């Protein structure tokens, strides 16, 4: 399917030599990017969101086996549950578009993060029985709403920041912003693995081998990794976006100004 994007994906406009001359040098560009307060707030909030992705995807197979219980077709159930989450995220996309139209991009993302926390909470009550295994499908389908909000709004917000920068410098510097965002984004992996290491080191878990210990401690640890720590990160992300200032009237003015400069789109 990816091959189709080579022929039918978005086409970038041709670049003039004058555009290249307007761009600052590499180190100056990095310095300008890191000095953009709006971008740094966005990137830190985005990092916490991806922290949730990393922790949830890493821990879920263990959560399914040790909390929901071992079954003969557990591998299939894990795959179906993850697939169901992604499918529900895709189905929620049109709703995210309506939310954006109604309350805006920033508030739409913050709402999605809040609902994501709420949908993670039922994981605390799941246990090793058929009812829980059945309910887990509904729980993870609902988690797809928060996932879709992150996937839908983040790139739009990122694009707004790049457009604002283009108005300031007369040329788009998307590569600088995507590069720096990707660099900071990697810290979400470090934080995620560090969190898992700290929790597992207190449960007798080592290299995915369970040392005989209190099953309650194992279950409590996995549930904290599936709900508590992602929720703390999402709350942190909401707080960052609360101070994100490119929204409302300021964002509308920026977009109106951008309309006067079609060469920057």
The gap from C-alpha 127 to its chain's centroid, in whole angstroms, comes to: 27
Domain ranges of the chain: 22-264
**C-beta separation of 189 from 83 below 8 A:** no
pLDDT band at 21 (very low <50, low <70, confident <90, very high): low
pLDDT > 70? residue 147: yes
What pLDDT sits at residue 101?
A: 94
Q: Is 69 left (phi over 0), alpha (psi -120 to 50) or beta?
A: left
pLDDT > 70? residue 20: no
pLDDT > 70? residue 22: no
Mean pLDDT (the chain) is: 87
The pLDDT of 86-90, averaged and rounded, is 95
Which among 36, 61, 71, 50 is positioned nearest to 190, based on CA atoms? Answer: 50
What's the CA gap between 121 and 229, in Å, rounded? 11
Report the Cα–Cα distance between both ends of the chain, in Å, rounded: 28
Helices 37-66 and 130-169 pack at an angle, to 10 degrees, of 160
**C-beta separation of 259 from 168 below 8 A:** no
What's the CA gap between 142 and 261, in Å, rounded? 41
pLDDT band at 259 (very low <50, low <70, confident <90, very high): confident
**C-beta separation of 150 from 112 below 8 A:** yes
pLDDT > 60? residue 173: yes
pLDDT tens figures, 53-67: 999 999 999 898 888
pLDDT tens figures, 103-142: 999 999 999 999 999 999 999 999 888 888 889 999 999 9
What pLDDT sits at residue 129?
A: 85
What residues have CB less than 8 Å from 113, skipping those under 6 apart?
Answer: 49, 146, 149, 150, 234, 237, 238, 241
What pLDDT sits at residue 18?
A: 60
- In CATH, the architecture of 22-264 is Up-down Bundle (1.20)
Q: Which residue has the higher pLDDT, 93 or 208?
A: 93
pTM listed for this prediction:
0.87
The gap from C-alpha 61 to its chain's centroid, in whole angstroms, comes to: 19
């Amino acid at each position: 399917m990816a091959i189709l994007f080579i022929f039918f994906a978005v086409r970038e406009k041709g670049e003039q030599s004058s555009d290249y001359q307007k761009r600052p040098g590499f180190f100056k560009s990095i310095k300008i990017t890191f000095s953009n307060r709006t971008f740094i707030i966005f990137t830190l909030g985005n990092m916490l969101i991806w922290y949730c992705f990393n922790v949830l995807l890493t821990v879920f197979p263990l959560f399914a086996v040790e909390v929901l219980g071992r079954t003969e077709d557990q591998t299939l159930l894990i795959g179906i549950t993850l697939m169901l989450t992604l499918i529900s995220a895709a189905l929620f996309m049109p709703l995210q578009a309506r939310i954006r139209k109604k309350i805006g991009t920033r508030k739409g993302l913050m709402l999605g993060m809040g609902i994501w926390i709420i949908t993670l909470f039922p994981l605390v009550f799941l246990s090793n029985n058929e009812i829980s295994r059945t309910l887990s499908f509904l729980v993870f389908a609902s988690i797809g709403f928060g996932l879709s909000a992150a996937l839908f709004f983040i790139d739009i917000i990122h694009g707004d920041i790049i457009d604002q920068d283009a108005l300031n410098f007369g040329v788009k510097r998307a590569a600088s912003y995507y590069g720096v965002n990707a660099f900071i984004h990697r810290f979400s992996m470090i934080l995620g693995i560090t969190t898992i290491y700290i929790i597992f080191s207190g449960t007798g878990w080592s290299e995915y081998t369970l040392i005989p210990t209190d099953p309650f401690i194992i279950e409590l640890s996995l549930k904290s990794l599936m709900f508590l720590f992602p929720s703390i990160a999402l709350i942190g992300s909401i707080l960052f976006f609360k101070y994100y200032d490119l929204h409302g009237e300021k964002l509308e003015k920026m977009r109106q100004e951008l309309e006067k400069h079609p060469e920057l789109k």
